[in-house]
Chains A and B, each alone.
Chain A
Amino acid sequence: KNEVEQSPQNLTAQEGEFITINCSYSVGISALHWLQQHPGGGIVSLFMLSSGKKKHGRLIATINIQEKHSSLHITASHPRDSAVYICAVNSGGGADGLTFGKGTHLIIQP
């Protein structure tokens, strides 16, 4: 069973700062997902990665398959970025669904 670890668990930063959230996993995967959950509960998919790097607006996600590690970066952070960010993986092979990290609670202060 894949083990997914995220760091940090909690992060408070000032508006405008560059944010990095890390995710590591223990077993090879077929895909890695970054999800965003705002207060109130809804979960939105931000990225799905199997290699390399993806960018969407101020968000960038990278993955290093050899090191079993992914990062989510937020440039020019804004209070509306305050949310819980969750890393999840599809393990390679088998019929397992997603395995989730416990999430990173991000607060961006004005």
Chain B
Amino acid sequence: EAQVTQNPRYLITVTGKKLTVTCSQNMNHEYMSWYRQDPGLGLRQIYYSMNVEVTDKGDVPEGYKVSRKEKRNFPLILESPSPNQTSLYFCASSFLLAGTEQFFGPGTRLTVL
């Protein structure tokens, strides 16, 4: 089954404790991205990757890192999480950057205390 998986689905952590949210897709998609969703602000892009070893900042990259060492995986790293990073996070992939269907992961609800 074609899908995007994220882990963990739920995470409660404390300020400053490094964490990684994994994202994996099985569709051989070139384009992958991370979004955060906040009430009243909607979805905003954090980082995106157009292919292996090619990543770039989205609209709200501060406090986040990503890597794309393999085509299928695109982990999101929070080196020192802060409470303002409490949010619902989505990973997504598509065959190309534009003009192709977007596939979203199930979301990761992160709470930073």
Interface residues of A (CB under 8 A from B): 30-31, 33, 35, 41-45, 48, 50, 86, 88, 90, 95, 97-103
Contacts and interface: CB of A to CB of B under 8 A. Distances in A.
Given A42-B106, A42-B107, A44-B104, A31 B43 contact: no
B50 to A, nearest CB: 7
B64 interface: no
B50 A95 contact: yes
B106 to A, nearest CB: 5
A41 B97 contact: no
A38 B31 CA distance: 24
B102 A102 contact: no
Contact of B97 (A45, A90, A99, A101): A90
A88 B56 CA distance: 19
Contact residues of B: prevailing secondary structure:
strand
B99 A30 contact: yes
Contacts, number: 63
B100 interface: yes
B104 A42 contact: yes
A95 B56 contact: yes
A101 B41 CA distance: 9
Contacts of A103: 42
Interface residues of B, number: 27
B44 interface: yes
A48 B107 contact: no
B48 interface: yes
Given A30-B99, A31-B98, A100 B106 contact: no
A102 B97 CA distance: 21
B54 to A, nearest CB: 10
9 contacts: A31-B100, A33-B101, A48-B101, A90-B97, A90-B98, A97-B97, A98-B92, A100-B43, A103-B42
Interface string B41-83: 1111100101000001010000000000000000000000000
